[in-house]
Structures are given as C-alpha cells and as structure tokens.
Amino acid sequence: MNDSQPSIIQMLRAPFFSSILSPLITGSFLAAAVTGSLYIPGFLLVMVMGLGLHAATNVYNDIYDTKQGTDRINRHRNEFSGGSGLIIQHPQILPRMYTLARSGLIVALWAAIGLTLVIDKSLLGYLWGLYLLSAFFSKYYTAAPFKLAYRGVGEIAVWFAFGPMAILVASVSQNLGLHENILLAMPITGISTLSILLIGELIDYPADKAAGKWGIAVRLGTKNTAIIYLLVQLILILNIIILSWHLKPAGLILLTSIVPYLLLLPKIYHIVIASHDQPADLRPAAGMNVQLHLSFSVLYSISMIIYFISR
C-alpha cells in the first residue's frame, strides 16, 4: 500500500480529455458556421458539461474495473491501455474517487441546467436526452448491473458517446439540431477515440478474457480486431474527405487533419498486424496511436475553426 496521494489530474486521467474536447469544439464551430455566429454562452456551458461527464466516465471506469478484478490481473497495463491502476496502488483513495465521479456528474448537471436557460426551447429534448444517456454511459460502461464493456457493446457505446452524441450536444448548444452538416460529422471523433480502445483491447486481451470482459478482441480474436482497427481508421479518413468536399471550398481545409494518418497509420498497423497476439510488443503501436489521436484532434479542431472564420 502506497500512502502518497496521486494528483487530481492523475485520478481524472485528464490527458485523455482530448477525446471530448475535439467533438465539442468541432461540433460547435460547424454548427456556428450554419447559424452564422458562435453562441458563446452555449459553447462555454457545453464544454463544462462535456468535461464533467468525461471526468466521471474516466473515474467510474477505474473504480469498477478495479472492483471487478480486471485491473488487478492486467500484467500489461501501461499509460496507453488498461485502467490507471491508481486504486490498486493507493486503495485509500477509493472514497475520493467516488466523490470525483459524482462531482463530475453534478458539474455536468448544472451546466445542462444552464444550457436549458439559454438555448432554443425546441432543442431541450435533445439536450436532456443526451445528458441522461451520457450519465448512464459514464457509470454503467463498467458498473453492474449493465456492465456494457463486459457484454460486448462497449465499443458501440464509446463510438456513440464521443461521436454522434458529443457532436449533437455541441450543435444543440449553438441552437442547431440535426442539420445535414452535423449528421455528416457525427462519426468522425467517435472513430478516433474507438481506435484507442481497439488497440487497448489487444494489449488487455489476457486480462479481459480472464475477467469476462467481452470486447471485440475477446469475441472475435486478436487478428480480426487488428483488421477492424485498420478498417475503422480508413472509414475515418473517408469521412473527413466526404465532409470536406461537402463543405467546399472553405471546408477543404479539413483535409489537413488527415496528414497524421498518412505519416503514422502505416507504422502503427505494421506493428498491430504483426504483433496482434503479443501484448508486450504492442505498446509502441499504442503510443503512436495516442499520438495520432491527439495530433488529429488538434488539427481537426483548428481546421474547423478556420473553416468557420473563412465562411
């Protein structure tokens, strides 16, 4: 038992907040390009709401993966896959972790209440439906009785939460609903986050199988998961091309966001397909994939802001 206290940033796994920041930024500015201006109150409140929900998700995942044994038997945990392992190293922080997770949900709730007061009332159904579904996912992705990640639907939940749901709530914050531009953008950021999960499942395969966590890797095998990883990344690239063409000429700037894929994806996939069943050898691929996710998220967000300004 380690008596030292990890930082709040460590407990929140804050470096992975890029997964929610990117869809909220791109969704907001894409919607603002349709409406003609960025609605600042909505933008600020949806950012708080999204960060609160993501914080709760990260912390709850660590709590319940530890309680259900997955993190305890994972010999290949690293900074790119598996839980943080903080509760195993510092069991005394468990009450504080519960407080952080619940605080995240409360902060997000207050932000949703704030959005209720400032957005078009015709969009309130979207807002509260998305908040409640996000709060459900944040806890029950790993917690009983639903344990989505353990029942073979975790990948769908991750894609849906960080793709369609996050993009739509950002659009709602700008007083726009299911516009065609929003629909076209919905899959992209969810796929980027899903790619991290897929390589993580390859690394965590032995622990997930032992714990009964039935993700794609456990259900379909590691080689098939490696192929699925490549396919979803290619779908993301195609989605960016289609969206940029739909938004042309200004939207062609979005093509710059796929440059990291041209540089990193071949290297990542070479490792993934060669070492799909060797968790220890997959760590370099996981690291590069996180770099890919981060660089894409930054470039995609910046290019969407440029697109909005140039309209």
- Average of per-residue pLDDT values in the chain: 89
**Pick from 49-63, 82-96, 114-128, 259-273: least confident:** 82-96
52: confidence class by pLDDT, cuts 50, 70, 90:
very high
Smallest Cα–Cα separation from 128: which of 161, 169, 160?
169
**Is the pLDDT score of 12 beyond 80?**
no
* Cis amide prior to 187 (ω within 30 degrees): no
Ramachandran area for residue 171 (φ above 0: left; ψ -120 to 50: alpha; else beta): alpha
Q: How confident is the model at residue 69 (pLDDT cuts 50, 70, 90)?
A: low
Is the pLDDT reported for residue 149 higher than 90? no
pLDDT at 172: 97
Using alpha carbons, select from 238, 233, 239 the residue that is nearest to residue 273.
Answer: 233
User: What is the pLDDT at residue 25?
Assistant: 97
252 within 8 A of 303, measured Cβ to Cβ: no
For residue 86, pLDDT beyond 90: no
- Other CB atoms within 10 A of residue 47 CB: 18
Global model pTM greater than 0.85? yes
Q: Which residue has the tokens 């990344």?
A: 233
Q: Residues for the chain: how many in total?
A: 311
Q: What are phi and psi of 152, to 5 degrees?
A: 85, 10
Is the predicted pLDDT of residue 77 greater than 60, yes or no?
A: no
Residue 212 has a pLDDT of 77
Structure tokens at 6: 């990890």
Q: Is the pLDDT of residue 80 over 60?
A: no
- Specify whether the CB–CB gap between 233 and 261 falls below 8 A: yes
Model pLDDT, residue 63? 82
What percent of the chain has pLDDT above 90?
65
- CB contact at 8 A, 152 and 208: no
Residue 99 has pLDDT above 70, yes or no: yes
Smallest Cα–Cα separation from 306: which of 17, 23, 35, 25?
25
Whether pLDDT at 3 is above 70: no
Asked if residues 82 and 202 have their Cβ atoms less than 8 Å apart, the reply is: no
In this prediction, residue 19 has a pLDDT band, given cuts at 50, 70 and 90, of confident
d(CA 185, CA 173): 16
Q: What is the pLDDT of residue 72?
A: 55
Is residue 262 within 8 Å of residue 255, measured between CB atoms?
Answer: no
Average pLDDT value for residue range 110-123: 96
